[in-house]
């Protein structure tokens, strides 16, 4: 079962967080994260993959670092909230490890 964690993304600021996946070596896995305004929404607010917003450091306890550049968050509509999840996949087996809500707060200083 996926862990639940709500996140706040500040419009115009770099967003980062890291997650340790205990007991899983993510060597060879595909990792992805998407955010949408609602579960049924057909478009994404953000979509990250390994090498593009997600950095995986494999090992006995793998780490996934999530980064959304300030130039990207500056283009987000704010205020906004929605839902996201983070998954890894190998050979067609998908495991959701994190899910929750996101809230984008508006930037004042531009």
Which CATH number does the domain housing residue 64 bear?
2.60.40.10
To the question of pTM greater than 0.95 for the whole model, the response is no
CA distance 92 to 73: 31
67 falls within a domain: yes
pLDDT greater than 90 at residue 73: yes
Whether residue 84 contacts residue 68, with contact meaning beta carbons closer than 8 Å, is answered with no
59 falls within a domain: yes
Number of structural domains (the chain) is 1
110 falls within a domain: no
The mean per-residue pLDDT over the stretch 51-78 comes to 96
- Domain span holding position 61: 3-105
DSSP state of 106: P
List C-alpha distances in Å: 100 to 30, 49, 69, 76: 20, 18, 21, 18
pLDDT greater than 90 at residue 103: yes
51 falls within a domain: yes
């Amino acid at each position: 079962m996926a862990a639940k964690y709500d996140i706040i993304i500040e419009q115009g600021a770099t967003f980062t967080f890291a997650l340790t996946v205990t007991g899983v070596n993510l060597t060879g896995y595909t990792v992805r994260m998407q955010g949408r305004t609602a579960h049924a929404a057909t478009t994404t607010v953000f979509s990250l993959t390994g090498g593009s917003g997600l950095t995986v450091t494999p090992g006995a306890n793998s780490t996934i670092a999530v980064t959304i550049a300030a130039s990207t968050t500056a283009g987000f509509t704010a205020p906004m909230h929605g839902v996201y999840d983070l998954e890894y996949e190998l050979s067609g087996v998908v495991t959701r490890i994190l899910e929750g809500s996101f809230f984008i707060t508006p930037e004042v200083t531009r």
